[in-house]
Structure 1
Amino acid sequence: MSEEDPKLAVVVKGWPRLSETFIAQELVALERAGHSFDIWSLRFPTDKKRHPLHEETRARVRYLPEYLHHEKARVVRGWTKARKMPGFKKAHQVWMQDLRRDLTRNRVRRFGQACVLAAELPAGTKGLYAHFLHTPSSVARYAALIRGIDWSFSAHAKDIWTSPDWEIREKLANDGTGAAFGVTCTGFGAAHLQQMAEPSDRVSLLYHGLDLDRFPLPPAQRPDDGVFRMLSVGRLVEKKGFDRLVKALSLLPGDLVWHWTHIGGGDLKDDLQAMAKAEDIDDRITWKGACDQPEVVEAMRSHDLFVLPSRIADDGDRDGLPNVLMEAASQKLAILSTPVSAIPEFITSGVHGLLVEDTPETLTFAIMDLARNPKQRTKYAEAAYDRLVADFGVDAGITQLSARLNTLIS
């Protein structure tokens, strides 16, 4: 091991990703706390833009074979080297047990990536830390078993609610194959995981928080051109509820002059744009696509209301505590959202903003109420900002995570 080789390796699904600023923020903060690590990504980047945070990390970024057949020689070398390691037999047994219950190409790919990871990790690597409890944690778990080192994870939203219980329980088992520890970013998610952990305190609540030093002070006043301007930031996927918001916008009364701007990509873009056109409101909507964080913050400073109509998708997927809510609060932008998952952990309805059911009619009524009550919007925005500053700074969480990672690699 050279002096430059870190003891810690961080496994992520993709790097960099515009929709995962919370990961970039955390990794930069960990470096500032004295940690050194390599980032191992299961996928190559697809976003054309990068956040400034992505440029700040000093970590080396390594990409595992996204598809095993794309790098056959590398996979064979990894498999050959991994098979000679003392922990390979145990890792293979665990993987075969998983494969019998999840007979998919993805499960095969996870083990192939794990063999490459185990083979290519620096000799002095002492611990793995995976972001997301599903695929990245599977790769980290298999690789850690092969190498005979500990692994840990940070869980978020989809990975908690769409993973089968058997897999979560085994990743949390205190049997030598489960994680040394886990953290998750919402009290709602923590309580769910702690019920399956052995012992329960191996999973901790760790809010991502927001590094306010990276954000400008809120604007002294907002532009007022007579148009009520709404903003949403989030992927165009089912759990974000934008289909119901589009319908809600179509129900707004004719005497309200409004405009809605959406930031983010996603598979439902064409469907939602067609829906807006069918409702004859497409001329009042701007679809900006994916934007970097400075562009998002600038938009937050020039709008009147932030709307995030999150809901539970048919497959159980749901938001955790979306960072964009804290980003909106940082610019004192009034918030309208829904009481899904951990959102009420930050926004108390009627105090820090409004949380309503995600039906189009309910959303329409709430939008109309807020549009016609600028003083109430200001009151909500001030309260959310104060809560953000008091309870959701990034430092406390990083201190806790740093201590646990130091134990992992000691």
Structure 2
Amino acid sequence: MSAKRVAVVLKGYPRLSETFIAQELLALERRGLSLEIWSLRRPTDRARHPMHGQIRAEAAYLPEYLRDAPLRVLRGLGAAFRRRNLPALLALFARDFRRDPTASRLRRLGQALVLARELPADIAHIHVHFLHTPASVARYAALLTARRWSFSAHAKDIWTTPDWELTEKLRDAAWGVTCTRDGLARLDALAPGRTLLAYHGLDLSRFPIPPPHETRDGTDPARPLRLLCVGRLVAKKGHDDLIDALATLPPGLHWQLDLIGGGELRAALEARVGTCGLAERIRFRGALAQPAVIEAMRAADLFVLPTKPAPGGDRDGLPNVLMEAASQALPILATAFAGTPEFITDGTHGVLVPPGDPAVLAAALIRLADDPGLRRRLGEAARARLVRDFSEEAAIALIAGRLRASAGLSSDVAAHESELPACAS
């Protein structure tokens, strides 16, 4: 077996909010790829997913701030002077810095110098998740060490990175994938044909068979409708709209909401809940490992995720929690925004409402609360859609084949891609 390995560059590892990355790393290892993880930040979550413990790759951490490891940075700089590609890197960095003269840009260069020096000789290719700051580090290090690099683009990185930067990174990368047609359209508009579509999907072997869901309709105060929302407490998830919608529900509709996720808006959302008089009905559970999330989905009556555009242009891709909810046949109420309609057809696999409209969201909540039969049909249809069109196999086959070819482990990418089923539409 070849000793060549692939370095995977991440912004932070491990993260509870990035189950799709952990799932991919584990699946690539199971296909025989040997990986090494490089993270720009150390973990901040207290818990870990079980998948993180199953991943064999060791994680190395770059200095998040250059002042934290000055000797590593100086050694990286000294090693760079012995590289023949240093003039090319300095020219590229100068062009970038003229357009983005920030401390963050300097930090990415310093991290890249450390990465270039410390990458083992058997690393034959660099793959990076997210096209914003992690891709800058990967791109600089790849140029300096004369390696090729590739990317997986997801959500915020696609929508908040300037056009000039996306265009040049797309041009320089050997290849890349993204996880929604929505994101693919933006990247193709800047650099046609440089990016492939690869939905994350789910490894369904990790999920239990769906339970029989209750038929609660909220008319009995002793059996309130159990609502669930899972997502980081950030603007693009639309928690504020959900709270405002719940505040307008009729008093005869009895419900409880569990919010799972941590984030910068927790204090503001808790204050909003208090102002609306909903503190006894809404529970903030914080960030949880996947088994606890799935258990909450099995106990819930309805999953709600009202994503919307955030200030500054940030937006979701196709949230993996929608597929996780579908794995448990939990009916879904979401917004017709970003990548969500690529998985859920309104009225067939769930109910979709316009983003940023609490009144319409409230009306949909009332409708679904009143019709347990509809909820059951939608949940079953979403699970069937997941099983048929969104297993992880297609995406992993594509990415593994490309990585093997790029690392010199296989020269026949077409052979891997010819085995793929058609992408879900």
TM-score, length basis structure 2: 0.93
CA distance in 2, matches of 1:96, 1:52: 43
Residue number in structure 2 paired with 1:257: 254
Q: CA deviation at 1:350?
A: 0.7
CA distance in 1, matches of 2:31, 2:161: 32
Q: CA deviation at 1:155?
A: 0.2
Residues 223 and 302, structure 1, Cα contact 8 Å, conserved in 2: no
CA distance in 2, matches of 1:33, 1:57: 12
Residues 6 and 35, structure 2, Cα contact 8 Å, conserved in 1: yes
CA distance in 2, matches of 1:134, 1:303: 36
Residue number in structure 2 paired with 1:72: 70
Match of 2:336 among 335, 339, 344: 339
CA distance in 1, matches of 2:81, 2:382: 54
**Alignment-mate amino acid for residue 157 of structure 2:** D
Q: CA deviation at 1:116?
A: 0.4
Deviations 1:253-281 (A, max 9, x none): 00000001000001111111111111111
Residue number in structure 1 paired with 2:421: none
Residues 18 and 49, structure 1, Cα contact 8 Å, conserved in 2: yes
CA distance in 2, matches of 1:255, 1:37: 55
The residue correspondences of 1:164-175 to structure 2 (distance < 5 A) are: 164-173=162-171
CA distance in 2, matches of 1:53, 1:98: 37
Residues 6 and 38, structure 1, Cα contact 8 Å, conserved in 2: no
Partner SS for 1:201? coil
Deviations 1:7-30 (A, max 9, x none): 310000000000000000000000
The residue correspondences of 1:209-248 to structure 2 (distance < 5 A) are: 209-222=201-214, 226-248=223-245
Match of 2:99 among 92, 101, 104: 101
In the superposition, relative to structure 1, how do residues 395 and 24 fare at CA in structure 2: closer, same or farther (>3 Å)?
A: same
Residue number in structure 2 paired with 1:187: 181
Residue number in structure 2 paired with 1:351: 348
**Alignment-mate amino acid for residue 376 of structure 1:** L
Q: CA deviation at 1:83?
A: 2.1
**Alignment-mate amino acid for residue 231 of structure 2:** G
**Alignment-mate amino acid for residue 183 of structure 2:** G
Residues 329 and 388, structure 1, Cα contact 8 Å, conserved in 2: yes
**Alignment-mate amino acid for residue 65 of structure 1:** P
In the superposition, relative to structure 1, how do residues 381 and 321 fare at CA in structure 2: closer, same or farther (>3 Å)?
A: same
Match of 1:310 among 298, 307, 312: 307
CA distance in 1, matches of 2:223, 2:118: 59
CA distance in 1, matches of 2:213, 2:317: 31
Stretches of structure 2 that go unaligned for 5 or more consecutive residues are: 217-221, 409-425
Q: CA deviation at 1:6?
A: 4.3
Q: CA deviation at 1:223?
A: 7.9
Match of 2:193 among 201, 204, 211: 201
Q: CA deviation at 1:196?
A: 1.6
**Alignment-mate amino acid for residue 276 of structure 2:** E
Residue number in structure 1 paired with 2:11: 13
CA distance in 2, matches of 1:172, 1:395: 25
Deviations 1:9-58 (A, max 9, x none): 00000000000000000000000011001000000100000000110110
Q: CA deviation at 1:92?
A: 1.4
**Alignment-mate amino acid for residue 176 of structure 2:** G
Q: CA deviation at 1:5?
A: 6.1
Match of 2:407 among 393, 406, 409: 409
Residue number in structure 2 paired with 1:138: 136
The residue correspondences of 1:248-397 to structure 2 (distance < 5 A) are: 248-357=245-354, 358-397=356-395
Deviations 1:188-213 (A, max 9, x none): 1112111222xx33210000000000
**Alignment-mate amino acid for residue 290 of structure 1:** A
The residue correspondences of 1:106-117 to structure 2 (distance < 5 A) are: 106-117=104-115
How many residues were matched structurally?
Answer: 402
**Alignment-mate amino acid for residue 325 of structure 1:** L
Residues 200 and 395, structure 2, Cα contact 8 Å, conserved in 1: yes
Residues 6 and 37, structure 1, Cα contact 8 Å, conserved in 2: no
CA distance in 2, matches of 1:337, 1:267: 22
Residues 193 and 203, structure 1, Cα contact 8 Å, conserved in 2: yes
Residues 215 and 372, structure 2, Cα contact 8 Å, conserved in 1: no
**Alignment-mate amino acid for residue 141 of structure 2:** A
Residues 213 and 301, structure 2, Cα contact 8 Å, conserved in 1: no
Residues 311 and 318, structure 1, Cα contact 8 Å, conserved in 2: yes
Residues 111 and 137, structure 2, Cα contact 8 Å, conserved in 1: yes
Residues 68 and 112, structure 1, Cα contact 8 Å, conserved in 2: yes
**Alignment-mate amino acid for residue 299 of structure 1:** A
The residue correspondences of 1:81-100 to structure 2 (distance < 5 A) are: 81-100=79-98
**Alignment-mate amino acid for residue 258 of structure 2:** T
User: Equivalent pairs: percent with the same residue?
Assistant: 53
CA RMSD for the aligned pairs?
1.2
TM-score, length basis structure 1: 0.96
Q: CA deviation at 1:314?
A: 1.7
Partner SS for 1:116? helix
CA distance in 2, matches of 1:231, 1:190: 30
CA distance in 2, matches of 1:222, 1:182: 43
**Alignment-mate amino acid for residue 193 of structure 2:** D
Deviations 1:292-341 (A, max 9, x none): 00000000000100000000112110000000000000001000000111
Partner SS for 1:195? helix
